[in-house]
Structure 1
């Protein structure tokens, strides 16, 4: 008697990368996504702007070692978040394949984890004590907006991949990564070409712009507001005193 191939979700993963066989169908999905896009623009960018404007003290000019450490920790979080996003882009094939390899074997939303880390780091890199208030505000906004965004995307993926996606959800957490990767069958490998197609350089450019604005804030804007001449502030900025060194 011939044995029929298994159609269980686990067997689907064992057969290799899970390809999309259906079109996403979610109620009112486009309108909901556009609303969340507006919320992101209206909510996050003012907070990002505040994090730049309130960087009124250079990291090494903070009065206590702990505060300097907090600022350095913020920079480390930004770099970690950027690395997470770049790593994730190399495995993502939107709506064509269920990403389960690389960072997707630890968290279902590694791109958003990366975004969260970058945002937290940017808030911490503002000056004390404004950075703690900005960090709290950022996390409230992030939870409110991205919880809804992730919900929409989960509906979409469930409509495309069905029980296979449910199996993935049972094994991989929604947000905070598990320590060990979830091992399945043959999966797609990291692809730099795929990462570039997913516009992996955009977050790099965005982060560099935000960091440059913070440096200009503590190295040029605030010294001028405190009465220093623009020429003297610029000279200090160019020679490296922008980080707080004499």
Structure 2
């Protein structure tokens, strides 16, 4: 492994599971157990995280729109710090997702390039940034708390569940894997970040759907802003 950076890409019948390397203390420091054994409730939450997230997220968004009825921020404004913060998180998060999806190669191999040489879960990082950006633009504080709390907990359990699988599939490489790159926050740059992106992989992983959804979401927030401020 060049520079100690590695990513595992696993393809199975249910899809592709991709997690890159980690930067943590050695096991004998007591920072993390040698093997995470997910309980039944953890596995249940991991399998149903998308359904739970969608139900909770949609319910809170509808509550914010029809009950709290805030005036959203203008996503096109460049003089408002709130609008800049929300739009910045949204577009940077989308860029991280697109970078990650274009680097993801659905085969059994060890990769050491792109965002997966920096953090193990760049797709989750990008998605979290996008959700927080949308919440800021919508002034949707209940949903922001839901994203920062319950949703983060659900996806944390999913990450641990996936890493447990990989630790058993790659027992020899796993120690080096978890000592190289953090889960979510990068701590160093390297040359590997410059390579590996492919438009073919980006299209094959259907990341264009996230781009279209984001554009429609921003357009909807702008229309909502115009409607609320013109009446």
Q: What TM-score, normalized to structure 1?
A: 0.67
Q: In the alignment, which residue of structure 1 is the partner of 2:34? A: none
Does 2:59 correspond to 1:46? Answer: yes
User: How far apart, in 1, do the equivalents of 2:12 and 2:226 lie?
Assistant: 54
User: How far apart, in 2, do the equivalents of 1:207 and 1:19 lie?
Assistant: 26
String of CA shifts for 1:143-170, please: whole Å, max 9, x gaps: 2111011112212222332232331211
Flag the structure with higher strand content. 2
**SS state at 1:116 partner:** helix
Q: In the alignment, which residue of structure 1 is the partner of 2:71? A: 56
Q: In the alignment, which residue of structure 2 is the partner of 1:176? A: 185
Q: Is the 8 Å Cα contact of residues 97 and 127 (structure 2) preserved in structure 1?
A: yes
Does 2:200 correspond to 1:193? Answer: yes
Task: Work out the number of aligned pairs and report it.
Answer: 203
Name the CA shift for 1:18/1:39 in 2 (closer, same or farther; >3 Å). closer
1:188 CA drift (Å) = 7.3
Q: In the alignment, which residue of structure 1 is the partner of 2:134? A: 122
Q: What TM-score, normalized to structure 2?
A: 0.70
User: How far apart, in 1, do the equivalents of 2:199 and 2:188 lie?
Assistant: 25
Q: Which runs of 5+ in 2 are unaligned?
A: 18-36
Q: How does 1:44-123 map to 2 (within 5 A)?
A: 44-49=57-62, 54=69, 56-59=71-74, 68-94=80-106, 96-123=108-135
Q: Is the 8 Å Cα contact of residues 92 and 126 (structure 2) preserved in structure 1?
A: yes
User: How far apart, in 2, do the equivalents of 1:36 and 1:203 lie?
Assistant: 19
String of CA shifts for 1:149-198, please: whole Å, max 9, x gaps: 111221222233223233121110011122323869xx972221111111
Q: In the alignment, which residue of structure 2 is the partner of 1:213? A: 220
Q: Is the 8 Å Cα contact of residues 106 and 173 (structure 1) preserved in structure 2?
A: yes
Higher Cα radius of gyration: 1
User: How far apart, in 2, do the equivalents of 1:137 and 1:110 lie?
Assistant: 21
Q: In the alignment, which residue of structure 1 is the partner of 2:211? A: 204
Q: Is the 8 Å Cα contact of residues 77 and 121 (structure 1) preserved in structure 2?
A: yes
1:48 CA drift (Å) = 4.7
Name the CA shift for 1:152/1:173 in 2 (closer, same or farther; >3 Å). same
Name the CA shift for 1:198/1:207 in 2 (closer, same or farther; >3 Å). same
1:124 CA drift (Å) = 1.0
**SS state at 2:71 partner:** coil
String of CA shifts for 1:55-99, please: whole Å, max 9, x gaps: 514439x9xx7xx20221110110100000000011112462344
